[in-house]
Structure 1
């Protein structure tokens, strides 16, 4: 049976690679390991650190720090950090252990002065060259002045009326945000607090009929701090005769004119028992206009871009009703223009081990300058909590058929713990032991700084980590919990503390969105994967929840967050798990994503366990159906893409997958066809012992002796053969990439996706870039 959609190269990290990482940790300098292990014993809010220059001379000075316990419990250890300008250096020191990294200095207590009783203090000193003043002082990670460092909450969104009677007003408002969490809200009528609630709704009672009241809302955080008030809202109570109902939903907006930079809309009126006052127009989750008429024009838009609109009516009592059904409109232009195509590459977390492929490799090979998007693979799903999982260092089982192979697995060391030296770093600056973010994530941040147009996404799932997608997507509550956890971890950057790294906001700014790699909803994938008959519907609902929460975040940050997917080539898997057809008023899964990376490879192959197709060769990424294909299901790029387009998927949302690796067999008979579709004796030796049948493109050409490359003009497929009873390999090269990029441009597709970047040192990426100009 063809498992062309299995994604068999999409394995997570191997146990042998993890051993390399552990060995690297053991080889760290002792001082570094000691520094990583040290942790403050007392929060900075219960102590202060103050600096004085006890003496000065022309070329330097003697400095002293004093740490005072301002709390009510004993401090058992302390750490003071500060920065000096480059012109000032620290020499001799006493009563502390002082280490320096550039202009950053860290002092830790000695064994005899770490304990400070309440109200007591200790001092340490040093001699410095230069005349600089300290800055950026931190005591045990917090401000040296003893403040909490806790910012007050933001203003809540403007309240709206959800119900009015002659003596009551019901209100709701968008939540405020706070770095430590919002505790509750004060609701003010005029300047008087009339209620305090933990949620975002309130009903004010005992009011006078036909009277206007003005309300504001103020948030309070868990530290008791209050923030600024929301914009005011004025609501008039009813005149008697019962409850004033909110208006109905307006009709679905229609686009009356679309240009490269504008969309003109109209809609049918809502109804209300007391009359309609005006309409709010929303682009995504952001309100962009309030108008009294039934039409509006949105301007200043980006060519070739999707925009989703809804309209909400407001009545004369200032109550808002339900939103209209959404309308998605693409502005003209952009499509097919030079440089407009997506060039998406997957970077594998474990590539830094056996492959020796780091984030810096993306720069040195020239790939980073050519890519538009980079997908970092993979994040796992917590098998117990059904949340995004990180902060663990656990290898997968070496048995690819182990149903629990990926349970609880992850590599926080590679993600954000590992310190990269200057020679391995994108910007030539090595990591320090005490920075909260290191590893691949910090290198991605540096890569984005060098290439500001590059977008990075975190890929969740993959072949080995998709086991619990079905559970996480099962209910509305589980979807909300899962999505929130992923956004908190990867967009807000709240990484688990491990190995001295991580913490709240540590990875903020690294990722621009999510790539969901559920392999596969509603059908078989990795051994042991959980599958449900409801997966197809829940898959769409999961994407809807990601889009809802990401758009809600956009309203506070002003940033657009991406949502993409890896989708199958197998028609059976599409039907079982992917609702790709937009029905009357019912959104498809594509309505929530920016684009899909559609599988254009792994049509045929043989894996390490010989459970796939060990006995017959076959093309893994042929553009057209091969006339000689003996299988019942005849895979091709063209037929795969046609399945999506025929279902009504926008061509620009289809990004075609290419393989930067080859699949091979051994003991292949010639059969008069140079090995095509011929009998074989299993997977050929691979680039790595545990991955038989697979080699990266560069490795394949360099390591398989006597390989002659052939091009099948009819099916547009590249293959290599070493001769009768030898090895046969199927792969993409410059010739096939040129053919495929020309074809996808003729179909107005969105671009190219690459699995995965470590297989190529520049030849194939240059072909992709040239082909999409």
Structure 2
């Protein structure tokens, strides 16, 4: 049995501090003082408003140095809410652009000794209510000193089916805002072993590492050559990691369509070999030779971990999945085998490997298939399904993803982020073990009656609305253009953290940037270690949803 280990979450734990307003220093002398609120090992930035008058206010901004070494240069990028703007700033240099402000040390310098802080101030114009930062980074990191996990799933089929390439993660600004990227999915054979194939419905090795990318579609702007051992999305991910070296990339195994043989992998007689096959293929990089690519070590160093997406242990998922009553206990044993082999590989390679999972929103599925407390000891974190609470499989419209149970929800056992997360906490997980899933898509019904409220919510429907990719399903990038067109009106429940569109017959529940930010704020307030998005190709070309949760959690926006 593996010794349970607890890695710290991506965000740095920092004690809550009470900020006390103090008089601003003179315009000719900035303050350098002991930093009582500094997060260990980081630079942090706080703003305090200490005066307000009709049409204006005064604030001070403090940069605290917890790095353990003197800091002679720093850059604070921040944005203010609508109705607030900087009029005159002192004791720092200021540049302004359309996205906000950049403050740097003044011409005479502003070195900050270890454990000390530096304060500058400004007078601002005010026509609104709030003056709090809407985004803030110091040297590119969150001003709070807390780095939340921001996980995104990149789909194997996105390149061929949707024209969504790894390069699009760069162009949209998504890549620079993610801490973890999961490539979905790898498949398991009848013995539970990882394998590669180009057989329809079994795999797409050509997309993974066979496709030759031209320069215009490549992350590094260089065309693949036909004799490369690693091409396709895998090579593009390698190039992405070279550009963003702090990004952790994992291979996700299973998913809805390829969880058929997870139960076989978890059997005692198969466990060790099943895990070894996945470790060898993806972490050692020993890819089968297909399409003129692959070979021993071809993908070495590409993946930083393994994400287990068994949907679901001891609970039927897609028809055809193998399900056994002993799946619950076997899954725990399988996870421990993964952890043991990853620990051994860490000792061999001198680097860390992540072990994570995607886990369900259904209380019944959790109870049937997950020994939550034991699993939390083995996983670095668990990505919690925060969507598909409702869909066209239901006879009436509803919310497929909501933070709190909305008032008037007619369900016998309504679900929400609050109820789902509580399911895991009650069974032994800590909040920091959990990352909350966000949908980058919506669920839709047609033939929906207006209902008692006239907005189509919780009203009888005829079935699934027509979707771009499948009935009852549309990406955010499609739905965002519905509002105000063809009779669609946008409705919102801010308490539930969700939105929907209705035109009198067609109903779509979906998340726009406002709803995504509300969900991310809830995750932060609940003490979770971050958020996860399914899937990145559902965002628009500007990465609007990714920017929304990044702005809420890590201050970059």
**Common fold, TM-score beyond 0.5?**
yes
Equivalent pair of 2:448/2:460 in contact (CA under 8 Å): yes
Return 5+ residue gaps in structure 1 as ranges. 1-251, 254-259, 262-300, 304-333, 397-408, 582-587, 607-611
Would you say 1:386 and 2:192 are equivalent positions? yes
Give distance in 2, aligned partners of 1:579 and 1:675: 39
Could you tell me how far apart the structure 2 residues matched to 1:757 and 1:450 are? 18
The answer for the alignment partner of 2:36 in structure 1 is none
1:616 partnered with 2:421: no
Match of residue 545 from structure 1: 337
Q: How do residues 269-284 of structure 1 correspond to structure 2 at under 5 angstroms?
A: none
1:768 equivalent in alignment to 2:549: yes
- How far residue 744 of structure 1 moved from its aligned partner, in angstroms, is 1.5
Cα distance in 2, alignment partners of residues 749 and 522 from structure 1: 27
In the aligned structure 2, how far is the partner of 1:714 from the partner of 1:628? 13
Structure 2 Cα separation of the partners of residues 531 and 478 of structure 1: 15
| 1:596 aligned partner | 382
Match of residue 559 from structure 1:
351
Distance 2:144 2:350 in 1: 27
Give the Cα separation in 1 of the matches to 2:333 and 2:224. 41
8 Å CA contact retained: 1:336, 1:745: no
Larger Rg: 1
- Taking the aligned partners of 2:226 and 2:487, their CA distance within structure 1 comes to 48
Shift in Å, 1:646: 2.5
Match of 1:513 among 274, 299, 305: 305
Contact 1:335 / 1:748 at 8 angstroms: preserved in 2? no
Q: Does 1:720 align with 2:501?
A: yes
Aligned residues of 1:457 and 1:514 also touching (Cα < 8 A): yes
The size of the alignment, in residue pairs, is: 417
- Aligned twin of 1:605: 391
Task: Name 1:311's counterpart in structure 2.
Answer: none
Counterpart of 1:702 in 2: which secondary structure?
A: coil
In terms of fraction of residues, the more strand-rich structure is 1
Secondary structure at 1:485's aligned position in 2?
helix
1:335, 1:652 within 8 Å by CA — same for their partners in 2? Answer: no
Return the alpha-carbon distance in structure 1 between the equivalents of residues 175 and 184 of structure 2: 16
> Does the aligned pair in 1 maintain the 2:192–2:263 contact within 8 Å?
no
Deviation, 1:361, is 0.4
In structure 2, what is the equivalent of residue 485 of structure 1?
A: 277
Q: 1:335 to 1:539 in 2, by over 3 A?
A: farther
Task: Verify the 8 A CA contact 2:272 2:337 in the aligned structure 1.
Answer: yes
Q: State whether structure 2 residue 165 is matched by structure 1 residue 358.
A: yes
Distance 1:422 1:490 in 2: 26
Pairwise mapping of residues 82-231 of structure 1 onto structure 2 (< 5 A)? none
1:751 equivalenced with 2:537 (yes/no): no
Distance 1:526 1:565 in 2: 18
Q: Is the 8 A contact 2:336 2:378 kept in 1?
A: yes
Summarize deviations over 1:165-213 as a string: whole Å, max 9, x none. xxxxxxxxxxxxxxxxxxxxxxxxxxxxxxxxxxxxxxxxxxxxxxxxx
Q: Which residue of 2 aligns with 1:709?
A: 490
Greater relative contact order (CA < 8 Å, ≥ 6 in sequence): 2
C-alpha offsets along residues 375-410 of structure 1, whole Å, 9 cap, x if unaligned?
A: 000000012x421011x11222xxxxxxxxxxxx00
Query: In structure 1, what is the Cα distance between the partners aligned to 2:406 and 2:299?
Result: 47
1:379–1:388: 8 Å Cα contact kept in structure 2? Answer: yes
Evaluate the alpha carbon distance shift between residue 361 and residue 452 of structure 1 in structure 2; reply closer, same or farther with a 3 A threshold. same
Determine which of 235, 255, 259 is the counterpart of 1:462: 255
Shift of 1:339: 4.7
Query: By how many angstroms is 1:718 displaced?
Result: 1.0
TM-score for both structures, normalised by structure 2: 0.72
Per the TM alignment, residue 352 of structure 1 is displaced from its structure 2 partner at its CA by 0.6
* Structure 2 residue 366 is the aligned partner of structure 1 residue 574: yes
SS at match of 1:353: helix
Asked if the contact 2:480/2:512 (under 8 Å) is kept, the reply is no
- Give yes or no for the alignment of 1:344 onto 2:151: yes
Shift of 1:353: 1.7
CA drift of 1:302 comes to 8.9
Deviation string, structure 1 residues 198-247 (Cα, Å, up to 9, x no partner) = xxxxxxxxxxxxxxxxxxxxxxxxxxxxxxxxxxxxxxxxxxxxxxxxxx
Q: Does 1:700 align with 2:479?
A: yes
SS of the counterpart of 2:270? helix
Residue in structure 2 matching 1:736, options 504, 515, 522: 515
In the alignment, the residues of structure 2 paired with residue 438 and residue 602 of structure 1 have an alpha-carbon distance, to the nearest angstrom, of: 34
- Following the alignment from structure 1 to structure 2, what is the Cα–Cα distance between the partners of residues 637 and 744? 9
Where do 1:25-64 residues align within 5 Å? none
Tell me how far 1:336 sits from its aligned partner: 11
1:335 CA displacement: 12
Q: How many Å separate the matches in 2 of 1:769 and 1:474?
A: 40
Say if 2:476 and 2:510, in contact at 8 Å, map to a contact too: yes
Structure 1 pair 302–562 and aligned structure 2 pair: CA distance change class (3 A): farther
